[in-house]
Amino acid sequence: MSGQLRADLGGGMWKSEQRFRPALTMDLLGSLAPLGIRQPASYGSCYHALAESVPKVTHTINNIFAWWPGGPWQEAKATGTFLGKHYRYDLCSAYRWAATLGLPDTKTFRVWKSHKDPRSVNGLWVVALHQTDANRVPALLAGPGPVVVSSEDLRLYDITPARIYRGVTWSESLPGDFVEKTLAQLPCAKQSGRAYWGRWITRDRLTCRTANNEWSLPNFATNFVWGFLIIARVRARVWQVSKQALHVYVDEVIVPHEIETGGNIGDWHLKETYEHGVDVRGTGWLGTTSGATIMHTGHPHSQRLVS
Protein backbone atom coordinates (compact mmCIF):
# COMPACT_ATOMS: atom_id res chain seq x y z
CA MET A 1 0.00 0.00 0.00
CA SER A 2 1.33 3.43 -0.98
CA GLY A 3 0.06 6.91 -0.24
CA GLN A 4 1.03 10.40 -1.30
CA LEU A 5 0.34 13.13 1.27
CA ARG A 6 -0.87 16.57 0.40
CA ALA A 7 1.69 19.33 0.76
CA ASP A 8 -0.11 20.80 3.78
CA LEU A 9 0.30 17.44 5.55
CA GLY A 10 4.01 17.21 4.84
CA GLY A 11 3.92 15.76 1.33
CA GLY A 12 6.00 12.87 0.08
CA MET A 13 5.28 9.28 -0.92
CA TRP A 14 4.78 6.80 1.92
CA LYS A 15 4.68 3.00 1.74
CA SER A 16 3.65 0.27 4.18
CA GLU A 17 6.33 -2.07 5.51
CA GLN A 18 3.85 -4.89 6.20
CA ARG A 19 4.81 -6.96 3.17
CA PHE A 20 8.42 -7.32 4.28
CA ARG A 21 9.06 -10.61 6.06
CA PRO A 22 11.61 -10.47 7.68
CA ALA A 23 11.13 -6.83 8.59
CA LEU A 24 12.69 -4.08 6.52
CA THR A 25 15.71 -2.39 8.10
CA MET A 26 17.37 0.98 7.57
CA ASP A 27 20.61 -0.81 6.68
CA LEU A 28 18.85 -2.67 3.87
CA LEU A 29 17.27 0.52 2.58
CA GLY A 30 20.69 2.12 2.58
CA SER A 31 22.09 -0.79 0.54
CA LEU A 32 19.24 -0.66 -1.97
CA ALA A 33 19.41 3.09 -2.61
CA PRO A 34 22.67 3.03 -4.64
CA LEU A 35 20.99 0.49 -6.93
CA GLY A 36 18.23 2.97 -7.65
CA ILE A 37 15.71 1.09 -5.48
CA ARG A 38 14.01 3.59 -3.20
CA GLN A 39 10.90 2.88 -1.16
CA PRO A 40 10.35 -0.70 -2.37
CA ALA A 41 6.95 -2.19 -1.58
CA SER A 42 8.20 -5.74 -0.93
CA TYR A 43 11.17 -8.02 -1.44
CA GLY A 44 9.56 -9.06 -4.71
CA SER A 45 9.47 -5.45 -5.89
CA CYS A 46 13.22 -5.18 -5.22
CA TYR A 47 13.74 -7.88 -7.83
CA HIS A 48 11.39 -6.30 -10.37
CA ALA A 49 13.01 -2.90 -9.96
CA LEU A 50 16.19 -4.31 -11.52
CA ALA A 51 14.94 -7.20 -13.68
CA GLU A 52 15.26 -7.07 -17.43
CA SER A 53 11.91 -6.35 -19.04
CA VAL A 54 10.34 -8.87 -21.41
CA PRO A 55 7.36 -8.56 -23.77
CA LYS A 56 4.06 -8.57 -21.86
CA VAL A 57 1.86 -11.64 -22.07
CA THR A 58 -1.43 -10.96 -23.84
CA HIS A 59 -4.76 -11.16 -22.05
CA THR A 60 -5.76 -13.92 -24.46
CA ILE A 61 -2.92 -16.17 -23.30
CA ASN A 62 -3.28 -15.35 -19.60
CA ASN A 63 -7.02 -15.96 -19.78
CA ILE A 64 -6.44 -19.58 -20.84
CA PHE A 65 -5.09 -20.29 -17.35
CA ALA A 66 -6.68 -17.55 -15.22
CA TRP A 67 -9.43 -19.87 -13.88
CA TRP A 68 -6.94 -22.39 -12.43
CA PRO A 69 -6.43 -21.97 -8.67
CA GLY A 70 -3.09 -23.75 -9.00
CA GLY A 71 -1.02 -23.80 -5.88
CA PRO A 72 1.65 -25.99 -4.35
CA TRP A 73 1.21 -29.59 -3.25
CA GLN A 74 -0.04 -29.93 0.32
CA GLU A 75 -1.20 -33.39 1.40
CA ALA A 76 -1.16 -35.84 4.27
CA LYS A 77 -0.52 -38.94 2.18
CA ALA A 78 -1.01 -41.14 5.22
CA THR A 79 -2.50 -40.44 8.64
CA GLY A 80 -1.92 -42.08 11.99
CA THR A 81 1.08 -42.87 14.18
CA PHE A 82 4.20 -44.08 12.41
CA LEU A 83 7.00 -45.46 14.57
CA GLY A 84 10.67 -45.59 13.76
CA LYS A 85 13.09 -43.00 12.46
CA HIS A 86 11.67 -40.37 10.10
CA TYR A 87 13.21 -37.39 8.35
CA ARG A 88 11.91 -33.95 7.41
CA TYR A 89 13.54 -32.45 4.31
CA ASP A 90 12.96 -29.22 2.42
CA LEU A 91 14.29 -27.86 -0.86
CA CYS A 92 16.90 -25.12 -0.79
CA SER A 93 15.45 -22.00 -2.45
CA ALA A 94 12.90 -24.09 -4.34
CA TYR A 95 11.22 -21.34 -6.36
CA ARG A 96 14.50 -19.67 -7.14
CA TRP A 97 15.84 -23.00 -8.42
CA ALA A 98 12.80 -23.49 -10.66
CA ALA A 99 13.74 -20.46 -12.76
CA THR A 100 17.23 -21.84 -13.44
CA LEU A 101 15.65 -24.52 -15.65
CA GLY A 102 14.81 -21.73 -18.10
CA LEU A 103 11.75 -19.52 -18.40
CA PRO A 104 9.88 -19.47 -21.73
CA ASP A 105 10.65 -16.63 -24.13
CA THR A 106 7.32 -14.83 -24.31
CA LYS A 107 8.07 -13.71 -27.87
CA THR A 108 7.76 -17.33 -29.01
CA PHE A 109 4.40 -18.18 -27.40
CA ARG A 110 1.89 -19.98 -29.59
CA VAL A 111 -1.69 -20.90 -28.68
CA TRP A 112 -3.11 -24.33 -29.48
CA LYS A 113 -6.67 -25.66 -29.37
CA SER A 114 -5.31 -29.18 -29.42
CA HIS A 115 -2.03 -30.98 -30.05
CA LYS A 116 -1.23 -34.47 -31.27
CA ASP A 117 1.76 -34.92 -28.93
CA PRO A 118 2.05 -32.36 -26.10
CA ARG A 119 4.88 -34.36 -24.53
CA SER A 120 7.15 -33.70 -27.50
CA VAL A 121 7.15 -29.90 -27.14
CA ASN A 122 7.55 -27.30 -24.41
CA GLY A 123 4.16 -26.10 -23.27
CA LEU A 124 1.55 -25.49 -20.61
CA TRP A 125 -1.82 -27.19 -21.08
CA VAL A 126 -5.38 -27.26 -19.82
CA VAL A 127 -6.24 -30.95 -19.89
CA ALA A 128 -8.38 -33.74 -18.55
CA LEU A 129 -6.39 -36.73 -17.32
CA HIS A 130 -7.36 -40.39 -17.42
CA GLN A 131 -8.65 -41.69 -14.09
CA THR A 132 -6.04 -44.42 -14.23
CA ASP A 133 -3.35 -41.72 -13.99
CA ALA A 134 -4.65 -40.31 -10.70
CA ASN A 135 -2.19 -42.32 -8.61
CA ARG A 136 0.77 -41.14 -10.69
CA VAL A 137 0.43 -37.45 -9.98
CA PRO A 138 0.25 -35.11 -6.97
CA ALA A 139 -3.25 -34.85 -5.55
CA LEU A 140 -3.83 -31.36 -6.94
CA LEU A 141 -3.51 -32.70 -10.49
CA ALA A 142 -5.70 -35.76 -9.98
CA GLY A 143 -8.89 -33.79 -10.69
CA PRO A 144 -11.77 -34.15 -11.04
CA GLY A 145 -12.21 -31.79 -13.94
CA PRO A 146 -9.67 -29.93 -16.05
CA VAL A 147 -6.22 -29.23 -14.61
CA VAL A 148 -3.16 -27.32 -15.77
CA VAL A 149 -0.03 -29.34 -16.48
CA SER A 150 3.22 -28.63 -18.28
CA SER A 151 4.84 -30.76 -20.94
CA GLU A 152 7.55 -31.38 -18.34
CA ASP A 153 4.84 -32.85 -16.08
CA LEU A 154 3.53 -35.12 -18.81
CA ARG A 155 7.02 -36.49 -19.46
CA LEU A 156 7.96 -36.90 -15.80
CA TYR A 157 4.71 -38.52 -14.68
CA ASP A 158 4.56 -40.54 -17.93
CA ILE A 159 0.97 -39.62 -18.70
CA THR A 160 -1.00 -38.72 -21.82
CA PRO A 161 -4.04 -36.42 -21.48
CA ALA A 162 -7.47 -37.83 -22.14
CA ARG A 163 -8.36 -34.45 -23.63
CA ILE A 164 -6.61 -31.14 -24.35
CA TYR A 165 -8.78 -28.05 -24.01
CA ARG A 166 -6.18 -25.38 -24.75
CA GLY A 167 -2.45 -24.86 -24.49
CA VAL A 168 0.48 -22.53 -25.03
CA THR A 169 3.86 -23.64 -26.37
CA TRP A 170 7.18 -21.86 -26.79
CA SER A 171 10.09 -22.57 -29.09
CA GLU A 172 12.80 -20.79 -27.10
CA SER A 173 13.67 -20.21 -23.43
CA LEU A 174 15.55 -17.45 -21.67
CA PRO A 175 18.98 -18.26 -20.18
CA GLY A 176 19.00 -20.22 -16.95
CA ASP A 177 20.55 -17.27 -15.12
CA PHE A 178 17.83 -14.82 -16.19
CA VAL A 179 16.51 -14.50 -12.62
CA GLU A 180 19.80 -15.27 -10.87
CA LYS A 181 21.73 -12.44 -12.51
CA THR A 182 19.22 -9.95 -11.09
CA LEU A 183 19.13 -11.53 -7.64
CA ALA A 184 22.94 -11.46 -7.54
CA GLN A 185 22.79 -7.65 -7.56
CA LEU A 186 20.57 -7.48 -4.49
CA PRO A 187 21.64 -7.38 -0.83
CA CYS A 188 18.41 -9.29 -0.08
CA ALA A 189 18.80 -12.01 -2.73
CA LYS A 190 17.52 -14.80 -0.45
CA GLN A 191 14.31 -12.96 0.48
CA SER A 192 13.70 -11.69 -3.07
CA GLY A 193 14.40 -15.19 -4.38
CA ARG A 194 11.35 -16.41 -2.48
CA ALA A 195 9.06 -13.63 -3.67
CA TYR A 196 10.12 -12.66 -7.20
CA TRP A 197 7.56 -14.84 -8.98
CA GLY A 198 4.43 -13.83 -7.03
CA ARG A 199 3.72 -10.82 -9.23
CA TRP A 200 3.22 -13.09 -12.23
CA ILE A 201 0.26 -14.98 -10.74
CA THR A 202 -1.44 -12.47 -8.45
CA ARG A 203 -5.03 -11.72 -9.39
CA ASP A 204 -5.51 -8.67 -7.19
CA ARG A 205 -6.33 -5.44 -8.97
CA LEU A 206 -4.65 -2.21 -7.98
CA THR A 207 -7.15 0.10 -6.28
CA CYS A 208 -6.44 3.82 -6.56
CA ARG A 209 -8.18 6.42 -4.42
CA THR A 210 -8.09 10.19 -4.26
CA ALA A 211 -10.21 12.60 -2.25
CA ASN A 212 -12.73 12.71 -5.10
CA ASN A 213 -12.40 9.50 -7.08
CA GLU A 214 -11.66 5.76 -6.99
CA TRP A 215 -10.70 3.35 -9.75
CA SER A 216 -8.83 0.08 -10.25
CA LEU A 217 -6.22 -1.27 -12.63
CA PRO A 218 -5.37 -4.85 -13.61
CA ASN A 219 -2.01 -6.47 -12.90
CA PHE A 220 -0.06 -5.64 -16.05
CA ALA A 221 2.73 -8.04 -15.05
CA THR A 222 0.50 -11.15 -15.12
CA ASN A 223 2.26 -14.14 -16.64
CA PHE A 224 0.46 -17.33 -15.69
CA VAL A 225 2.69 -19.39 -17.97
CA TRP A 226 5.79 -18.45 -16.00
CA GLY A 227 4.08 -18.59 -12.61
CA PHE A 228 2.38 -21.96 -13.06
CA LEU A 229 5.49 -23.48 -14.68
CA ILE A 230 7.57 -22.47 -11.65
CA ILE A 231 5.02 -24.00 -9.25
CA ALA A 232 4.81 -27.15 -11.38
CA ARG A 233 8.58 -27.62 -11.27
CA VAL A 234 8.69 -27.43 -7.49
CA ARG A 235 5.73 -29.79 -7.24
CA ALA A 236 7.47 -32.24 -9.59
CA ARG A 237 10.75 -32.05 -7.65
CA VAL A 238 8.91 -32.99 -4.49
CA TRP A 239 7.01 -35.78 -6.25
CA GLN A 240 10.30 -37.42 -7.23
CA VAL A 241 11.04 -38.25 -3.57
CA SER A 242 7.45 -38.70 -2.38
CA LYS A 243 6.84 -42.41 -3.02
CA GLN A 244 7.09 -43.24 0.70
CA ALA A 245 6.28 -39.77 2.02
CA LEU A 246 3.79 -39.51 4.88
CA HIS A 247 3.32 -35.78 4.50
CA VAL A 248 3.99 -33.28 1.71
CA TYR A 249 3.88 -29.54 2.29
CA VAL A 250 4.85 -27.16 -0.54
CA ASP A 251 8.61 -27.83 -0.79
CA GLU A 252 9.12 -30.29 2.05
CA VAL A 253 8.47 -33.96 2.80
CA ILE A 254 8.51 -36.29 5.78
CA VAL A 255 9.85 -39.70 4.78
CA PRO A 256 11.08 -42.88 6.55
CA HIS A 257 14.36 -42.87 4.66
CA GLU A 258 17.29 -40.59 3.94
CA ILE A 259 17.52 -38.35 0.86
CA GLU A 260 20.74 -37.11 -0.69
CA THR A 261 21.36 -33.53 0.42
CA GLY A 262 23.49 -30.63 -0.79
CA GLY A 263 24.11 -26.93 -0.36
CA ASN A 264 23.04 -25.61 -3.76
CA ILE A 265 19.66 -24.17 -4.68
CA GLY A 266 17.32 -27.00 -5.60
CA ASP A 267 19.15 -29.49 -3.34
CA TRP A 268 17.45 -31.24 -0.46
CA HIS A 269 18.25 -30.05 3.06
CA LEU A 270 17.68 -32.12 6.22
CA LYS A 271 15.46 -29.99 8.44
CA GLU A 272 14.72 -32.36 11.34
CA THR A 273 15.06 -36.00 12.37
CA TYR A 274 12.44 -37.79 14.48
CA GLU A 275 14.03 -40.77 16.17
CA HIS A 276 10.82 -42.29 17.53
CA GLY A 277 8.37 -41.57 14.73
CA VAL A 278 5.68 -39.07 13.80
CA ASP A 279 1.95 -38.62 14.34
CA VAL A 280 0.12 -37.33 11.25
CA ARG A 281 -3.42 -36.05 11.89
CA GLY A 282 -4.01 -34.29 8.58
CA THR A 283 -2.54 -31.91 6.05
CA GLY A 284 -0.45 -29.37 7.93
CA TRP A 285 -1.24 -31.01 11.28
CA LEU A 286 1.40 -33.32 12.68
CA GLY A 287 3.79 -33.88 15.56
CA THR A 288 6.13 -36.34 17.20
CA THR A 289 4.92 -39.47 18.97
CA SER A 290 5.74 -37.77 22.27
CA GLY A 291 3.27 -34.98 21.53
CA ALA A 292 5.60 -32.18 20.42
CA THR A 293 4.18 -30.14 17.55
CA ILE A 294 5.92 -30.29 14.18
CA MET A 295 3.31 -28.33 12.21
CA HIS A 296 -0.11 -26.97 13.07
CA THR A 297 -1.40 -25.14 10.00
CA GLY A 298 -5.09 -24.54 9.35
CA HIS A 299 -6.38 -26.02 12.62
CA PRO A 300 -7.66 -24.20 15.73
CA HIS A 301 -5.08 -23.88 18.49
CA SER A 302 -7.67 -25.30 20.90
CA GLN A 303 -7.25 -28.67 19.22
CA ARG A 304 -4.53 -30.74 20.85
CA LEU A 305 -2.34 -33.04 18.83
CA VAL A 306 -2.49 -35.76 21.43
CA SER A 307 -5.82 -37.06 22.69
Give tens-digit pLDDT for 138-148: 988 987 789 99
**What is the rounded average pLDDT of the residues 12-19?**
73
Q: Reply yes or no on whether the pLDDT at 235 is more than 50.
A: yes
Contacts of 8 (CB under 8 A, 6+ apart): none
Q: What is the pLDDT of the chain when averaged over all its residues?
A: 91
Q: Reply yes or no on whether the pLDDT at 212 is more than 90.
A: no
Contacts of 262 (CB under 8 A, 6+ apart): 92, 268
Q: Reply yes or no on whether the pLDDT at 299 is more than 80.
A: no
More confident residue, 90 or 220: 90
Q: What is the C-alpha separation between 255 and 10, in angstroms, rounded?
A: 57
**What is the rounded average pLDDT of the residues 80-108?**
97
**What is the rounded average pLDDT of the residues 253-276?**
97
Instruction: Return the minimum-mean-pLDDT range out of 7-11, 265-269, 298-302.
Output: 298-302
Q: Reply yes or no on whether the pLDDT at 29 is more than 90.
A: no
pLDDT at 25: 86
pLDDT at 298: 63
pLDDT at 5: 76
pLDDT at 94: 97
Instruction: Return the minimum-mean-pLDDT range out of 20-24, 74-78, 199-203, 258-262.
Output: 20-24
Amino acid at 129: L
pLDDT at 65: 97
Share of the chain above pLDDT 90, in %: 73
pLDDT at 307: 41
pLDDT at 300: 53
- CA-angle at 240, arms to 275 and 101, nearest 5°: 125
